[in-house]
């Protein structure tokens, strides 16, 4: 009985993993550039910016985020200090 229960549990785990993988995409962690692009696109969506204005908004946002990241890197910040510094800089 125990081996049957273990087999059922292992089967459920395998099926769950098989279904979850396509939902996660390629399974690879997004690159920092992809994260910045996603962040700026989400801000554009929240701001309801459309068409050419959206492209300009995202481009401007990306350059600002890049500048903020560079500033935090120059300060050699780590962990939460790094995240807070970049977040505060982007919000300005």
Domain ranges of the chain: 27-91
pLDDT band at 56 (very low <50, low <70, confident <90, very high): very high
User: Tokens 């505060």 identify what position?
Assistant: 88
Res 4: pLDDT: 40
Determine the angle formed by the axes of helices 79-91 and 51-74, rounding to 10 degrees.
140
- Measured in whole angstroms, the distance separating CA 91 from the mean position of its chain's CA atoms is 18
pTM of the model: 0.58
Res 25: pLDDT: 54
Res 71: pLDDT: 93
pLDDT exceeds cutoff 60 at 2: no
Contact by Cβ (8 Å): 58, 50: no
State the Cα torsion 30-34-35-36 to the nearest 10°.
160
pLDDT exceeds cutoff 90 at 18: no
d(CA 57, CA 41): 9
């Amino acid at each position: 009985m125990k081996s049957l229960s273990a087999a059922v549990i292992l089967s459920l785990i395998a099926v769950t993993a098989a279904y979850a993988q396509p939902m996660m995409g390629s399974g690879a962690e997004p690159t920092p550039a992809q994260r910045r692009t996603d962040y700026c696109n989400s801000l554009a969506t929240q701001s309801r910016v459309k068409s050419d204005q959206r492209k300009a908004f995202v481009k401007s946002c990306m350059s600002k985020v890049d500048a903020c990241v560079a500033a935090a890197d120059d300060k050699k910040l780590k962990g939460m200090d790094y995240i807070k510094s970049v977040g505060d800089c982007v919000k300005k």
